[in-house]
A and B are shown apart, each in its own frame.
Chain A
Amino acid sequence: MSGDAREDCDPITRRILRILERDALTDPAQIAIMLDLDVDDVRARIDLTRRNGVVLRQKIVIDWERAGEPFVVALIEVKVTPQRETGFDAIAERIYRFPEARSVYLVSGTYDLAVHVQGRTMQDIATFVASRLAPLEGVQSTVTHFMLRRYKEDGDIFVRTPPVERLAITP
C-alpha cells in the first residue's frame, strides 16, 4: 500500500480509470493517445491504482441467461439489532462473508440491510435465507423479493433492442 489512495488518484488518473471502467482491456498505448499522455506514465498510474486498492479487480459483464446458465437473484430486506460496539458493521460482515450474498448495503428506511442473494434456483435462495441468514444472531426479520426480470444492472441494459440505423454518409 502506498500512501493515501485518494491523493494518488488525481484527475488524470481518474480519466484513465473512466476509460478502463468501460473497457478494462483498453491498451495503455491507446489511452496515452486518447488523453495526450506518455505511455509509461499511463502504465505507472494504472499500476498504482492496482497497488493502492483503488482498482479492486477487473471483470467482464456477462448475460448468463444468453450464456445458457440462468440464475435467480433475490433482494432481501434485513432488519437487524445493532450491537453496542460495532453497530451494524459486525452483522453486515457476517452476512457479506457468505459468497451467496452478491451485494450488501446499509440503507436508510424501514429496514437496515439490503442484501442481493444469487443462487441457481429459488430453492437455493430459500434455503440460504432460512438456514443461514435468518438464524444469525442480531437478525430480527427478513423479507425476500425474488427478481423477476433484469432490465438493467450496474449501468448495463440487458433488454435487447434493435440497433438504431444511421445513414452512412451525411453532410
Chain B
Amino acid sequence: MIAGAPPRRTTRLARRVESLPPSGIRRFFDLLSTMDDVISLGVGEPDFTTPWHIREAAIHSLERGHTMYTSNHGLIELRRALVDHLERRYRVSYDPTRETLITVGVSEGLDLTLRALLDPDDEVIIPEPGYVSYGPCVTLAGGAPVFVATSVENDFVPSVAALERAVTPRTRAILLGYPSNPTGAVAPHDVLADIVALAVRHDLIVISDEIYDRLVYGVDHTCVASLPGARERTVLLGGFSKSYAMTGWRVGYAAAPPDLLAGMVKIHQYGALCAPISSQHAALEALRHGETDVQAMREEYDQRRRLMVHGLNRLGLTTFEPRGAFYAFPSVRSTGLSSTQFAERLLIQEHVAVVPGEAFGPSGVGHVRCCYATSTANVTEALDRIGRFVQAIRAEVQ
C-alpha cells in the first residue's frame, strides 16, 4: 500500500461501513437457533407483553382510521403529554412545539443527535462498557468515538478527571447512558452534576440516553437535563420500550433546546418522517394511564434482580449491585475463562445464553451480561445451570 493513500476498498460497501465491526451481541445467534430448551439471559427487552390498555388504545386508533403520517415532530397531544410528564417527574420544562420530537425509538433519536452535531472527525466521549450502538452510531455520523474506561472499582461510572483527560479541541459531546446497559449502574446525582460542569467548562453538548429512567431500584433517577446549567446543552433521549414493555413499537422521544432540535428535525423529516402513528397513540395511552403498570413491572424486576445478583455472588461470580435497568454484570474471572469462552461454553454445555462483556467495550472483558427480565422460574433455573457449569469448570482446572 502506498503510504498516505486510503486503504483499498475490498467490497462494494463504503469504507466506514466495511470497517464497522458486526455487533458482538448477535454472535451466538446461529449456535442458539440449533438448540432447544435454552434459557436466555441474553435479551435486552422486557419479558412482559405491552399492557393491554395500551395495545387496545392502538387497536382503537387503527379502527378509527389513524393510518397516516403524523407531523414530523409527532402528535402534538403526545408531545404535550410528554412535556407534562417530564415537568412532573424531573422538574424540567420543554416547549412541546419547538423542543420535543417523537422518534423511532431512542435509536433514531441518538442517530439524529449525532448526525446533527458532528462534523467529520469531531469527537464524542463515551464511557464504556456501554450500549453496543454508541460507538458505531458516532462513526456512522462521521465522528470519532473516544471511549473512557470504567470498572467495577468505580461502580462503572467514569470519574470527571478521566472524562476531562479525554477532552481535546475536537470534542463535541459527551454521551451518557445511565442507568446503564450492560452494567446496571446508575450515575449518582453529584457525579452527573460534575460532568455537566465539565461540559460547561469545555462548551460540550451532553447527550443523555435515559431509556431506563423508570427502572431504578432503591435510588432516584437523575434526569441530566434537570441539573444546573444542563438544559441548554443537553439532548435528552428517552422512550417507551423499557418502562412500558414496548420495544417492538419503536417509539421514543428527544427533548433539546430549539436550535439543536431543529437540526435533528431536519434530518428526521428527510429520513424516518415520523414515528409510526399507531405507536404514537399507544405511547400517549402509556403516558396517560400507564403509571401503575410501570410500578408493577419495576417491583417485579426488583425481586428478580435480587434473586439474580444474590445467586451469582453465591456461585463466586462477583456481581456489582446494579441499581437500574434489568442487567447483572458478573465477573467470570474466577472461572479462569474469558468472557467469550464462558458465554460459548455455558450455552453449549448448559443451554443458558448470556452476552460476553466485551461486546460492550474493552472494559467489559471478564464480565458477562445477564438480563433478569425473565420469569423467576427462569432465573432460578438459569442459576442452577450456571452453578453446575461453574462447578464443572473449576473441577477441570483442579
Segment touching B, from A33-41, A54-62, A99-107: A33-41
Measured CA separation A19–B44 after assembly (Å): 25
Contacts of B47 in A (CB 8 A): 166
Chain B residues contacting A34 (CB-CB under 8 Å) are: 303-304, 306-307, 376
A83 CB → nearest B CB, Å: 41
In the assembled complex, which residues on chain B have CB atoms less than 8 Å from the CB atom of A30?
Answer: 307, 376, 380
Say yes or no: is A171 at the interface (Cβ < 8 Å to chain B).
Answer: yes
> How far does the alpha carbon of A36 sit from the alpha carbon of B42 in the complex, in Å?
25
- State whether B133 touches A171 (Cβ < 8 A): yes
Inter-chain contact B40/A169, CB cutoff 8 Å: yes
Annotate B13-44 by CB proximity to A: 1 below 8 A, 0 otherwise.
00000000001011011001000001010111
Chain B residue contacts of A159, Cβ below 8 A: none
Check if B310 sits within 8 Å of A169, measured CB to CB: no
Decide if B353 is an interface residue (CB 8 Å cutoff): yes
Q: Which of A33, A36, A168 has the most CB of B within 10 A?
A: A168
Within 96-147 of B, Cβ neighbours of A (below 8 Å) are at 131-133
B306 contacts A171, CB within 8 Å? no
Contact of B306 among A15, A35, A169 (CB under 8 A): A35
**With A30-B380, A33-B310, A34-B376 as contacts: A168 and B353 at CB distance below 8 Å:** yes
Q: Are A169 and B32 in contact (CB under 8 A)?
A: yes
B11 within 8 Å of A by Cβ? no
Asked whether any CB of chain A lies closer than 8 Å to the CB of B10, the reply is no
Tell me the bound Cα distance from A19 to B303 in angstroms: 10
Is A148 located at the chain interface by the 8 A CB criterion?
Answer: no
Say yes or no for B224: interface residue by CB 8 A criterion.
no
Q: Are A35 and B42 in contact (CB under 8 A)?
A: no
Q: A34-B304, A166-B47 are in contact. Are A171 and B132 (CB under 8 A)?
A: yes
Partner of A170 from the list B44, B49, B306, B310 (CB cut-off 8 Å) is B44
- Would B43 and A166 count as touching, CB distance under 8 A? yes
Residues of chain A contacted by B303 (CB below 8 angstroms): 19, 34-35
The minimal Cβ–Cβ distance linking A70 to chain B, given in whole angstroms, is 28
Q: How far is the CA of A144 from the CA of B78 in the complex (A)?
A: 48
Does B232 have its Cβ within 8 Å of any Cβ on chain A? no
- Report the separation of the CA atoms of residues A30 and B132 in the bound assembly, to the nearest whole angstrom: 33
A99 to B306, CA, bound (A): 43
**How far apart are B373's CB and chain A's nearest CB, in angstroms?**
10
Residue pair B42, A169 in contact (C-beta under 8 Å) = yes
Contacts of A26 in B (CB 8 A): 376
B344 nearest CB across to chain A (Å): 13
B310 touches A168 (CB 8 A): no
Residues of B at under 8 Å CB distance from A? 23, 25-26, 28-29, 32, 38, 40, 42-45, 47, 49, 131-133, 181, 247, 299, 303-304, 306-307, 310-311, 353, 355, 376, 380
Q: Give me 10 other A-B pairs in contact (C-beta within 8 A), A34-B376, A169-B43 excluded.
A: A19-B303, A30-B307, A35-B306, A36-B306, A168-B32, A169-B25, A169-B29, A169-B353, A170-B43, A171-B23
28 A-B residue contacts at CB 8 Å? A15-B299, A19-B303, A26-B376, A33-B310, A33-B311, A34-B304, A34-B306, A34-B376, A35-B303, A36-B306, A164-B49, A166-B43, A167-B43, A168-B32, A168-B38, A168-B40, A168-B42, A168-B43, A168-B353, A169-B25, A169-B26, A169-B40, A169-B43, A169-B355, A171-B23, A171-B25, A171-B131, A171-B133
Shortest 7 CB-CB contacts between residues of A and residues of B = A34-B303, A168-B40, A169-B42, A170-B44, A33-B310, A170-B43, A171-B44
